[in-house]
Chain A
């Protein structure tokens, strides 16, 4: 894709970057951005440019993430980590309502919690797309969620273009990146000494007017375009989306779901790290005497067996049906519900699956089976196909003779540990200090 510099591009020197942070703080924003924590690049409050993970990068593969030192001092020389911006707009726990019993009568009050005013710094293209997906769920609805809407409308978005990709990235397949094109107030592309800056909104223009900017030189614009092109060139993972919805929905009883279910732990990690997954449950938190109640919305997951409870039992009562729900929702029925795919190609569910299940490979498996079935159905092809696919046939005519997708373990660039530590033992030298849990 041709990536031409626009006339609007300006240059912010790294030496002046703290001005941006101070300006935002002065405007009452809580600046949130990438920072080091617990052996990963996580999101947290940024007060100084020193809080950024300068000189660090991430190494990612299916079921694998490691923080690695770079051989330069790049500020944003990594992709996406285990967290996403959803934890700020759709927090893991949100108080919705309190109820108090006074003289035998219940008083119900909406939860009145201050709405934080966030400035998100370092939002990647796939994450901009994820914000848009969650906007559709929580905001562009007949009944918008006030907790999300208030946070979202106040939030300032400063995007950062990726200049590299991880092996888990596939934003190009989902048409969400790597270039940030919309949904930001400001967008940055990192160069060695500074950033090429684009303006994406009136609010961004106001902010830019107060920054020590210079017009970007032609060379700077070219370097920025090259850096962005590098990210695109590094993307190797692919998810073929043409006809994907029908492919999955016409194979709901395919035996391959059983094969995935044997590997899937139904642990919910993929849904927790996913920047678009929005499933939640409301918990009733009561005091001992049941006189003071808080209703709190917590992140939940279609991988939680209890999630599909309907009086008398579980609808999705095994891992097969839960994995199927997740994959078909994410890639197929999300289109019906919200007019978009639920997947933005960030690759988090691949990296953070503790057993390394890769949705792009699972989809490729379904596709290969469908292609084989098509081949099988061609006149005259039956005999040959039978000898290839063996005896078993799935309900949809697809081959069921063998699991067509054996997850390669320890092959896909993933280093195997020489000797795994005992269960529960950390192998991290100088294990990080206990994290502060709440309030981030």
Chain B
């Protein structure tokens, strides 16, 4: 009956401070957070794909994936789009503001399992945020992986996130393919939907290719189908899914998708474990 792990109260919220807030695009900001007082939870570490519950007193909590580690390797990043009560409250706090945090929670991208494989990262809009730590780690361990490709799209060119990173990733050996839904002045790149970018990848070694997808649910479905259509088996496709996560640890029932408790069994799940449920309306 006694839990074997050291007893952690998953409900305990720790104060964290916003040390930087960088605007990314219209309504999207990347916050750098650090535990208050520097010490205490200095050992905080997360794996790419996991999420934190961020809390603003009076407004409430929300689940947000980590979008990168801070340059000083102290603290971590969250890219947040203004949407509801909590995100607005967070934006009002600004730099220096203190909020609460629980985490990290959830299953990460299976980067270790992907070693020795080609990796295709597919992202739509703000869906690049939970993949960015994976891109960073794959780049840092470049030699452990085969060919690396990023297929990324947004509604508009100004909606593309982390534009300063693309060159860095290309230098690390990534094939970076971009597209937008709608043209804007100055955009000379592609216009079209993300799954079409699979056409830019020639000579796939499908048996040894792993695909990571995150974005709007419809985009995830079409991107996964594009990968399947090119012969990549469903067991090698991983997707990050979103439902309303509230406890973060699988005991409140909010984030169910069929048999999956997405906060606990996800947010990153193998496509063949999710496909059947994603296709049922209102599940």
CB pair A110–B12 under 8 Å, yes or no, is: yes
CB pair A141–B9 under 8 Å, yes or no, is: no
Interface-side segment among B135-143, B204-212, B252-260:
B252-260
Interface-side segment among A48-56, A101-109, A116-124:
A101-109
Task: Indicate if A217 sits at the interface (CB-CB under 8 A).
Answer: no
Determine the main DSSP class of A at the interface with B: mixed
Cα distance A315–B282 in the bound complex, in angstroms: 5
Inter-chain CB contacts under 8 Å: number: 138
Task: Indicate if B59 sits at the interface (CB-CB under 8 A).
Answer: yes
Which residues of chain A have C-beta atoms less than 8 A from B13's C-beta? 97, 99, 108, 295
Which residues of chain A have C-beta atoms less than 8 A from B15's C-beta? 106, 108
Determine the main DSSP class of B at the interface with A: loop
CB pair A308–B10 under 8 Å, yes or no, is: no
Which residues of chain B have C-beta atoms less than 8 A from A316's C-beta? 282-283
- Chain A window 86-107, contacts with chain B (Cβ cutoff 8 Å), 1 for yes, 0 for no: 0000000000110101000110
Q: How far is the CB of B219 from chain A (nearest CB, A)?
A: 15
**Interface range on chain A (Cβ under 8 Å from partner):** 35 or more
Which residues of chain A have C-beta atoms less than 8 A from B98's C-beta? 105-106
Q: Which of A363-416 contact B (CB under 8 A)?
A: none
Query: What is the chain A residue whose CB lies nearest that of B265?
Result: A337
Task: Indicate if A139 sits at the interface (CB-CB under 8 A).
Answer: yes
Q: How far is the CB of B188 from chain A (nearest CB, A)?
A: 33
CB pair B282–A318 under 8 Å, yes or no, is: yes
Cα distance A316–B190 in the bound complex, in angstroms: 37
Q: How far is the CB of A327 from chain B (nearest CB, A)?
A: 13
CB pair A325–B11 under 8 Å, yes or no, is: no
Query: What is the chain A residue whose CB lies nearest that of B252?
Result: A280
Task: Indicate if B182 sits at the interface (CB-CB under 8 A).
Answer: no
Instruction: Identify A302's interface contact among B2, B253, B259, CB under 8 A.
Output: B253
CB pair A325–B100 under 8 Å, yes or no, is: no
Q: Which of A297-322 contact B (CB under 8 A)?
A: 297, 300, 302, 307-311, 315-318, 320-321
Q: Which of B228-242 contact A (CB under 8 A)?
A: 242
Best-buried of A138, A145, A321 by chain B (most CB within 10 Å): A145
CB pair B259–A141 under 8 Å, yes or no, is: no
Cα distance A388–B14 in the bound complex, in angstroms: 64
Q: How far is the CB of A91 from chain B (nearest CB, A)?
A: 14
Interface-side segment among B19-27, B157-165, B243-251:
B243-251
Task: Indicate if A341 sits at the interface (CB-CB under 8 A).
Answer: no
- Chain A window 276-300, contacts with chain B (Cβ cutoff 8 Å), 1 for yes, 0 for no: 0011111010100010010101001
Query: What is the chain B residue whose CB lies nearest that of A101?
Result: B57
Cα distance A152–B3 in the bound complex, in angstroms: 12
Q: Which of A310-368 contact B (CB under 8 A)?
A: 310-311, 315-318, 320-321, 324-325, 328-329, 332-333, 335-337
Q: How far is the CB of A286 from chain B (nearest CB, A)?
A: 5
Q: A321 and B251 in contact (CB under 8 A), knowing A99-B57, A108-B15?
A: no
Residues in A lying within 8 Å of B, measured CB to CB: 96-97, 99, 101, 105-106, 108, 110, 135, 137-139, 141-147, 149, 152-153, 249, 252-253, 278-282, 284, 286, 290, 293, 295, 297, 300, 302, 307-311, 315-318, 320-321, 324-325, 328-329, 332-333, 335-337
5 additional A-B pairs beyond A142-B249, A302-B253, A337-B250, beta carbons within 8 Å, are: A142-B5, A145-B251, A146-B7, A281-B252, A337-B259
**Shortest 3 CB-CB contacts between residues of A and residues of B:** A336-B259, A279-B253, A321-B282
Name 25 A/B residue pairs within 8 A (Cβ), A-sorted: A97-B13, A105-B98, A106-B99, A108-B14, A110-B9, A110-B12, A141-B250, A142-B264, A143-B249, A144-B10, A147-B11, A152-B1, A252-B280, A279-B254, A282-B247, A284-B59, A311-B84, A315-B282, A321-B281, A321-B282, A328-B258, A329-B256, A332-B259, A336-B260, A337-B250
